[in-house]
Structure 1
Amino acid sequence: MNPTTWPDRLLVVDVEGNGANPPDLVEVAALPIHAGRTDTTLAGAWLVRPPVPVTPFAVKVHGLTNNRLADSPPWAEVADEVRTFLDGAWICAHNAHVDYRVLARHLPCWEPTGVIDTLRLSRVTYPDTRSHSLDALIDHTQLDLTGAPAQRHRATYDAYATALLFLTMTDRYETWSELAAVAVPPGLPGAPQAEQEPTLW
């Protein structure tokens, strides 16, 4: 697919939470894709001290302990910066409705231009793959993640991996509209509008 037909601003995002329900953010990452390539020089990443301590289970997942986050700013101090970074962009994430809902809850009145879900996209692109988890797809596509920051389940790493997965899958689609038709979850921004039946009036 010709990347010049892609949205002007496309950010691959990932978030990590504190394990509460609903979760408070402890990390946000946003990696731009320009001209069909990741642009790590313009990536955004924020660590956040949550109002409720990180649970032991969440620590086992992403490794961000309460001590590690003790000197990080609370969400109120970074929210405007994150909003400015995300405003006007399409976002892309694996199992994207989760990241979208968490971000939307933390950023009232924010809405991306569109939402690409690499999980949905992978189910169409690789229908015979046994699992469509990010780990399984990394193995299936043999992504080179030697340049990924941090480690698996950190937001920066997962955003980088998701970006490479997305770029690998775009080769199967001729136009952005064709990709978006299968990759945007129903009801989320960017979903193709159903054609209305013609009427007599």
Structure 2
Amino acid sequence: MRQIVLDTETTGLNARGGDRVIEIGCIEIDNRRLTGRNFHRYINPERASDPDALKVHGLTEEFLADKPKFAEVADELMNFVAGAEIVIHNAAFDVGFLDAELARLRRGGFGEAVAGVIDTLHISRELNPGKRHNLDALCERYGISNSHRVLHGALLDAQLLAEVYLAMTRGQETFFTEAEETVREGVQAVDLSALVFKVLRASDDEVAAHEVVMKAIEKETKKPPIWTQVLPNPESQL
């Protein structure tokens, strides 16, 4: 699976109000490994940055004046991301800006050229409800050094996000990948067809205790445990 971790810097927060993309950074991942192939461009937005945005990225009009316009890098960008799964933190923001830039060129939306978009902000909120979810917080949570990050930069942020994404999605996927590799190395599968498994049903007291735990989880997360939605009546599955 080819994935591209993408980040942008912009002149402000409002793509519909005329704010523009000024930097794009992309990091390629193939089968959960960084390939070393990157895409990085500064872009002349043909307008000034909002003062608050300038404090974040530090890219001045003077620095961007001789950089290519988006129209000049659009083909190269879209060729780089074509067919890949795109990983973005707060995807609606970046995709909204890219869609606005492509619309100015009378081209189709960003999503039409890629296999899909994964939003790490959504993943983080699912994994750690009630916690902070900005990139600095995620780097701290997953033990990734960002001490060299003084200002926001699209390529640097994409590099950090790539490491965060691989860390936050390691779990079961790594387990099954290792299992598949073990099988490929020649370990013989064990035939369990002749075995008879005894079913031990929970007592009434155990069921009641289980219900107390489930209610506590639901109260803490503010939604029912997912397995109660998949198997609303566990007894019927035995």
Which TM class, normalised by the smaller chain length? 0.7 to 0.9
Consecutive unaligned residues in structure 2, runs of 5 or more: 175-238
Quote the sequence identity (%).
38
Partner residue in 1 for 2:98: 103
Distance 1:21 1:171, change over 3 A: closer
Partner residue in 1 for 2:68: 73
1:64 pairs with 2:59: yes
8 Å CA contact retained: 1:11, 1:89? yes
Query: 1:10 aligned to 3, 26, 29, which one?
Result: 3
Query: 1:119 aligned to 108, 118, 121, which one?
Result: 121
CA distance in 1, matches of 2:94, 2:38: 17
**Please, which moves more after superposition, 78-87 or 42-51?**
78-87
8 Å CA contact retained: 2:58, 2:151? no
Cα drift, residue 54 of structure 1: 1.8
CA distance in 2, matches of 1:162, 1:72: 25
CA distance in 2, matches of 1:14, 1:29: 5
Q: What is the root-mean-square deviation of aligned Cα atoms in Å?
A: 2.0
Consecutive unaligned residues in structure 1, runs of 5 or more: 1-6, 176-201
Equivalent residues in 2 for 1:1-201, closer than 5 Å: 7=1, 9-19=2-12, 21-22=14-15, 23-39=19-35, 41-107=36-102, 108-109=107-108, 110-111=110-111, 112-127=114-129, 130-145=131-146, 151-174=150-173
The structure that has the greater radius of gyration is 2
Query: Which residue identity lines up with residue 135 of structure 2 in the other structure?
Result: L
8 Å CA contact retained: 2:3, 2:85? yes
Query: Which residue identity lines up with residue 51 of structure 1 in the other structure?
Result: E
CA distance in 1, matches of 2:72, 2:82: 17
**Larger proportion of helix:** 2
Distance 1:56 1:84, change over 3 A: same
CA distance in 2, matches of 1:95, 1:118: 7
CA distance in 2, matches of 1:154, 1:132: 18
Cα drift, residue 144 of structure 1: 3.1
Query: Which consecutive aligned stretches of 4+ in structure 1 deviate over 4 angstroms post-superposition?
Result: none
**TM-score (normalizing by structure 2):** 0.63
Query: May I ask how many residue pairs the two structures share in their alignment?
Result: 164
CA distance in 1, matches of 2:96, 2:171: 28
CA distance in 1, matches of 2:37, 2:57: 23
